[in-house]
Structure 1
Amino acid sequence: MIDLADVRAARTRIDGRVRRTPVLEADPEPFPPISRLWFKLEQLQHTGSFKARGAFNRIRAALESSAPAASGEAGPPVSGVVAASGGNAGLAVAFAAAAHGLPAEVFVPETAPPVKVKKLRDLGADVVQVGTKYADAYEAAQARVSETGALFCHAYDQPEICAGQGTLGLELLEQTGSEVDTIIVAVGGGGLMAGVATAVEGRAHVVGAEPSLAPTLHSALAAGGPVDVDVAGVAADSLGATRLGEIAYAVSTRADVASVLVDDADIEQARNFAWHQYRLVVEHGPATALAALLSGAYRPADGERVAVVLSGANTDPSTLR
């Protein structure tokens, strides 16, 4: 579990390391009865996604704990980092590790998009491709950590990771003058949802949008806890977790996060809408959040003020139609 104090501490820790991404006030007319609509342009973050926030917070927190305290005690030294990722989390970890002069080893599925694999290598990471899904990469990464003692950076289910992602929510409240009623975020493993819901709890409601072919949050809420699900569809490269994180589940129930499902066709339509209407290039993951509005999967109340988090852009723009 994380709380608002954790998110605020993360903000202090990563200040100057990540970008304060802009908010675009969009035209609410295509989405009646919304009165105001904002897009949080997190695809402009370092490495092209929100994941840089959590990665910096995790690594900097570990470095702080490894420094000698007043008592003379210190945690284990950080000599390198390991991550398992469908792509975006690995990119963020590689970037944050390089910024601190640390080697990074990133395990990704063999199905990871070539554009993300290339970017990982460009950032200096040692890339290991294994299996066909995130769970395979995760298992291999865990084995590597056991061998080397490197710092493991989870893609979505560590307190420091979730708290770092939550800094996005603090920014969004400030940038909207705290006038936002509802924030829609895409959910895979749930780290972003957990962080944002914690940051805005009591001030705005969070809706988790998921592909119908990867319903981790929806299934967890129905089952009373995280359960394994089959993952497929166009957003599987960024929303490819087969199980919601324990932190995400705890926060979702505490903060009453809603879950809505959208089909692949709606995700494709939303991605193209963002391009044609606003010239915004986003990947299928964040397009899932926008699809919740476009498809009617989420139906706002009259006069509701809504923000959609466009959380990543590591995609091939030539596939836009």
Structure 2
Amino acid sequence: MPLSFDDIKTAADRIAGRVRPVAVAPLDPGAVPGATVWLALEFMQHTGSFKARGAHNFLAAHHEAGTLPEAGVTIASGGNAGLACAWAAREHGTPATVFLPRTAPRVKVERLRSYDADVRPAGTQYAEALAACEEFAARTGALASHAYDHPLIAAGAGTLLEEIRRHVPGLDTVVVAVGGGGLLAGVATAAHRHGVRTVAVEPENCRALNAALEAGRVVDVGVDSIAADSLGARRASATALHVARHTGAVSVLVPDAGIEGARDLLWEHRRVAVEHGAATALAALSTGAYAPAEGETVAVVLCGANTDPGTLVRGV
């Protein structure tokens, strides 16, 4: 099913008052020469990531349609999508069963359980957790959600761009990290409607969208990055590829060292502790992978903060 701007407008109405509006803060003048850069602090969202938007939209749509089964909802997730699904399920009074790789950070597992989710580790990578989730849904009749590959999920994510534009007049460019592409698909669809450029940022060794754009079709890629717990999809969604091509999204890659550096920079200069996936977006600017033009106004989405702050360079 294609994703449209109308889907995003409907999602915005559906989640209004149920998610936290995004806050923005300016990056220090001169931090990126010639450009005005804003940080979209979406890590302050419910469950600690942008995923709450899509999860609430997904379950609210099924609630409206009367299609929430007694078995509840199930999802495979490296952590953030599972957290959002569990939170939204609790909001709707329905059970949530979450499958995740055994490598998922402990902080995410503990938070999942705090939302009353039935947590089921499966394998060491997202693809293995997804296979277990699909088997469970087929066997129990639970409603299968997805970490990124569903129009309701992507549309919910796209509401973020509408809010950023209200805070940042004259926005030229939005920079987002990409795993499977749900955030990219939603944000780029909304951005394109308003003439805003989207920059899609991936780790060098988690490049599902970049590889798909290069090949002209969705392809499987290897996953080996410090940000793989949230950006470690083996393949981008067909929707993300279509949207990226249709909107002319700029695809860039950043090294793990650059991601670490951006994460440490946020801690040292702002006392903001984000996860590596969120720092990936800022790394596009701090490494020069994306160089804004003179006078360009840029918003960088800091999409999640479900991390162990003790892993920062100086700790807490």
**Per-residue deviation, residues 143-166 of structure 1 (Å, max 9, x unmatched):** 111011111110001000000000
CA positional deviation for 1:33: 2.1
| Letter paired with 1:189 | G
Asked if the contact 1:185/1:192 (under 8 Å) is kept, the reply is: yes
CA positional deviation for 1:246: 1.1
| 3-state SS, counterpart of residue 213 of structure 1 | coil
CA positional deviation for 1:180: 1.0
| 3-state SS, counterpart of residue 184 of structure 1 | strand
| Letter paired with 2:222 | D
CA positional deviation for 1:78: 5.6
2:179 paired residue number: 188
Residue 232 of structure 2 corresponds to residue 240 of structure 1:
yes
Asked if the contact 1:207/1:257 (under 8 Å) is kept, the reply is: yes
In 1: Cα distance, 2:74 partner to 2:29 partner: 42
TM-score, with length taken from structure 1? 0.95
1:8 paired residue number: 9
> Cα RMSD (Å) of the superposition?
1.0
In 2: Cα distance, 1:109 partner to 1:269 partner: 26
In 1: Cα distance, 2:173 partner to 2:29 partner: 14
In 2: Cα distance, 1:141 partner to 1:108 partner: 9
CA positional deviation for 1:28: 3.5
CA positional deviation for 1:300: 1.1
1:100 paired residue number: 92
Residue 17 of structure 2 corresponds to residue 55 of structure 1:
no
**Per-residue deviation, residues 38-69 of structure 1 (Å, max 9, x unmatched):** 00000000000000000000001011111xxx
Asked if the contact 2:154/2:185 (under 8 Å) is kept, the reply is: yes
In the TM superposition, 1:99-248 aligns within 5 A as 99-177=91-169, 179-201=170-192, 202-248=194-240
**Per-residue deviation, residues 188-241 of structure 1 (Å, max 9, x unmatched):** 001001100111114210000100010111100000011100001100001011
2:310 paired residue number: 318
Q: What residue ranges of structure 1 are gaps of 5+ in the alignment?
A: 67-74
CA positional deviation for 1:76: 6.4
1:271 paired residue number: 263
CA positional deviation for 1:21: 1.8
**Per-residue deviation, residues 87-118 of structure 1 (Å, max 9, x unmatched):** 00000000000011111000000111111011
| Letter paired with 2:20 | R
1:70 paired residue number: none
